[in-house]
Chains A and B, each alone.
Chain A
């Protein structure tokens, strides 16, 4: 990936992230967060994770942000009142964030894997494809894609999910069901009980 593109995407993600933290209007915050997630999805795609990038846009920039905007408009939240922000909390937040950022930078600079570029760890698609085609349990749809030199990201993702993490997938499905039931129970208006 061109280095300028990376810096542009990183600036997009972090700049709009900063706007989420600083903007006073909740709607501005929500829309900035959507833009930040779009930048993040582009970073995922630059890491050859096409499926995860698409999911990020669909789930976060789509569904989650619509939910946030819906709640903001449903509750009719105005621009934050003129109350001065809590100075101690603001200073604490900035200091905490700075300490954490310095920590991450120090640790990552001492990482042995850290100096590798994507071309150092280039994907060897054709080689893997030919190996897979001759091996046992060959899936032609994946090995043909690999031999043609493209990365069948969604197919490999599906293979991993259903082959290795089938049980986990069902547990996640159950979690979503429980979440749905919980939301319905929580937002049901309680019957007025005689007190």
Chain B
């Protein structure tokens, strides 16, 4: 049978994949996609715990409300982040992380 552990491990693996992508990739847009993946993995954990921790015979809807807020914040974050990437592309003509090295010592 499927236990809470199954969901937690899927969520952990998805988070780890996203983390590997953020560290290893050099295209800023793909780094951004991996960040979205990590956020969704955290959402999966929240939803799994909400189902397995019941309040009066129903799933814990406070956790799902938190997921709702997370998704909203993620959507706003994507919009702002992509606008920053477009502005970056305008000034550097590139979306590689190596192009942004002004703060490098």
Indicate, yes or no, whether A interacts with B.
yes
- Whether the pair B20, A96 counts as a contact (CB closer than 8 A) is yes
Answer whether residue A49 sits at the interface, using C-beta atoms and an 8 A cutoff: yes
Answer whether residue B100 sits at the interface, using C-beta atoms and an 8 A cutoff: no
- Whether the pair A59, B40 counts as a contact (CB closer than 8 A) is no
Partner among A52, A108, A123, A168 whose Cβ is within 8 Å of the Cβ of B58: A123
Chain A: interface size category: 35 or more
- Whether the pair A36, B37 counts as a contact (CB closer than 8 A) is yes
Q: Which residue of B lies closest to A165 (CB)?
A: B65
Answer whether residue A98 sits at the interface, using C-beta atoms and an 8 A cutoff: yes
Interface string of B37-81 (1 = CB under 8 A from A): 100100110011011111011110110110111011111111110
- Whether the pair B57, A93 counts as a contact (CB closer than 8 A) is no
A59 → B minimal CB distance (Å):
5
Total A-B Cβ pairs within 8 A: 250
- Whether the pair B47, A44 counts as a contact (CB closer than 8 A) is yes
- Whether the pair B23, A96 counts as a contact (CB closer than 8 A) is yes
Provided the pairs A86-B26, A113-B52 are in contact, do residues A75 and B5 lie with their beta carbons within 8 angstroms? no
Partner among B52, B61, B68 whose Cβ is within 8 Å of the Cβ of A116: B52
Provided the pairs A29-B33, A123-B59 are in contact, do residues A114 and B8 lie with their beta carbons within 8 angstroms? yes
- Whether the pair B26, A85 counts as a contact (CB closer than 8 A) is yes
- Whether the pair B58, A128 counts as a contact (CB closer than 8 A) is yes
B16 → A minimal CB distance (Å):
4
- Whether the pair B64, A51 counts as a contact (CB closer than 8 A) is yes
Residues of chain B having any CB pair with chain A under 8 Å:
1-27, 29-30, 32-34, 36-37, 40, 43-44, 47-48, 50-54, 56-59, 61-62, 64-65, 67-69, 71-80, 82-87, 89, 95
Write 25 A-B pairs (CB below 8 A) sorted by A numbering.
A10-B6, A13-B14, A21-B21, A26-B27, A36-B37, A43-B7, A49-B51, A49-B59, A63-B75, A72-B29, A77-B27, A77-B29, A77-B95, A92-B23, A100-B15, A118-B51, A121-B54, A128-B58, A131-B56, A176-B76, A180-B79, A186-B80, A186-B86, A187-B83, A187-B86
6 closest cross-chain pairs (CB), A and B: A104-B12, A93-B24, A93-B23, A179-B76, A97-B20, A97-B16
